């Protein structure tokens, strides 16, 4: 442990799997006190027990980020770990439901906008008393402490076939990120986003008939081939690749960086 987040209180949504889970493991290793949230209890519990067995500090709350009360409850619980203050919010929960535009129902559209974009908005609003208001009070006594919010966009924010709903939600997250950065910079709160490329998680597995998420076999093969050709010598990115970037934005290494969206896609830049 190098202690980059020593004693910082961090909330991570979507922490039961994939990028959220990898971020939770890395944050714990760097000394953060964690409040982990996920829709699903079982993977959340597994993540927490693994962190605890390695000597880390983590509690969990089942939370649907589309529900205002769930978000408020999660932030209240997190604040109790930090004497009323939260240092880091990583909004990682997200989902896909891909359809070609002319077959996309209003329900498909609303579902994705709700989870990815509204969920991020609701978590930021719910953290306000424990981040913005606390920082405002602290500044009166001359205390300066950096806090950070990290959102997750995607390279699909630039548009991607079959992902009108997802692309719009992620482009929305980028606008939200820059707005929060501008509004909260005076309180020393940074807000940045990571835009991952193809990362090996549940969302990029070959789609099973029982699931709405996942990608077709041919698409997976095409992306794997493109990734190989770009020269960064791995087939697809791993959740840890994104977790490391989120750690950078969460730590004091990035205390003078705000309103940025960083693409983390190996060599897959400009090809998709
Ligand atoms: N995997 C990729 O290639 C990729 C690329 C770009 C962006 N992303 C983004 O990264 C983030 C994490 O995705 P992942 O690939 O790790 O997927 P994942 O499915 O492995 O993990 C996502 C987690 O979010 C949780 N979640 C879903 N809906 C939720 C809700 N309403 N409330 C609370 N938790 C909820 C799930 O239960 C799951 O544990 C998402 O925002 C996704 O859009 C992923």
Q: Residue 12: count other Cβ atoms within 10 Å of its Cβ.
A: 32
Ligand 1 centre to CA of 186 (Å) is: 31
Q: Which of 27, 109, 121, 166 is catalytic?
A: 166
Ligand 1 centre to CA of 46 (Å) is: 17
Which two structure tokens, joined as six digits, stand for 120? 């991020």
Least confident of 124-133, 208-217, 248-257: 208-217
Q: Kindly state if the Cβ of 95 falls inside 6 Å of ligand 1.
A: yes
Give the domains, in start order, of the chain with CATH numbers.
9-200+238-264 (3.40.50.720)
Q: Whose CA is nearest to atom 23 of ligand 1?
A: 14
Ligand 1 centre to CA of 115 (Å) is: 10
| Cβ density class 109-145: b for 16+ within 10 Å, e for less | bebbbbbbbbbbbbbbebbebbbbebbeebeeeeeeb
Q: Whose CA is nearest to atom 7 of ligand 1?
A: 154
State residue 272's pLDDT score. 55
- What's the per-residue H, E or C state across 186-255? HHCEEEEEEEECCECCHHHCECCCCCCCCECHHHHHHHHHHHHHCCCCCCCECHHHHHHHHHHHHCHHHC
3-state secondary structure of 154: coil
State residue 233's pLDDT score. 61
Q: What does the pLDDT average to over 7-22? A: 98
pTM of the model: 0.97
Which two structure tokens, joined as six digits, stand for 223? 């992306």
Phi, psi of 220 (to 5 degrees): -65, -45
Distance between CA 157 and CA 169 in Å, rounded? 8
Q: What does the pLDDT average to over 29-45? A: 98
More confident call, 266 vs 58: 58
State residue 271's pLDDT score. 55
| 66 CA: nearest ligand 1 atom | 31
Phi, psi of 63 (to 5 degrees): -150, 125
Q: Kindly state if the Cβ of 17 falls inside 6 Å of ligand 1.
A: yes
Residue 130 annotated as catalytic: no
Q: Residue 24: count other Cβ atoms within 10 Å of its Cβ.
A: 30
67 confidence band (pLDDT: 50, 70, 90) = very high
Distance between CA 156 and CA 166 in Å, rounded? 7
Distance between CA 57 and CA 15 in Å, rounded? 14
220 confidence band (pLDDT: 50, 70, 90) = confident
Residue 105 clears pLDDT 80, i.e. is over it: yes
């Amino acid at each position: 442990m190098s202690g980059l987040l020593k004693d910082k209180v961090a909330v991570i949504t979507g922490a039961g799997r994939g990028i959220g889970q990898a971020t939770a493991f890395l944050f714990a290793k760097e000394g953060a006190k964690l409040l982990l949230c996920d829709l699903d209890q079982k993977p959340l519990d597994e993540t927490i027990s693994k962190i605890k067995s390695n000597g880390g500090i983590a509690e969990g709350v089942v939370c649907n980020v589309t529900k205002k009360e769930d978000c408020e409850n999660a932030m209240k619980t997190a604040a109790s770990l930090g004497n009323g203050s939260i240092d880091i919010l990583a909004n990682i929960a997200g989902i896909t439901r891909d359809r070609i535009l002319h077959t996309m129902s209003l329900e498909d559209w609303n579902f994705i906008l709700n989870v990815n974009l509204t969920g991020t908005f609701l978590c930021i609003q719910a953290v306000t008393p424990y981040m913005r208001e606390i920082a405002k009070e602290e500044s009166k006594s001359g205390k300066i402490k950096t806090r950070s919010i990290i959102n997750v966009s995607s390279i699909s924010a630039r548009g991607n076939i079959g992902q009108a709903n997802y692309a719009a939600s992620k482009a929305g997250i980028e606008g939200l990120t820059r707005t929060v950065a501008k509004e909260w910079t005076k309180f020393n709160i940074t807000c940045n986003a990571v835009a991952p490329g193809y990362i090996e998680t549940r969302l990029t597995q070959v789609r099973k008939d029982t699931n709405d998420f996942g990608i077709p076999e041919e698409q997976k093969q095409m992306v794997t081939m493109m990734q190989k050709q770009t020269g960064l010598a791995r087939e697809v990115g791993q959740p840890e690749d994104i977790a490391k970037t989120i750690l950078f934005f969460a730590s004091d290494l990035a205390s003078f960086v705000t309103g940025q969206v960083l693409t983390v896609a190996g060599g897959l830049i400009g090809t998709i």
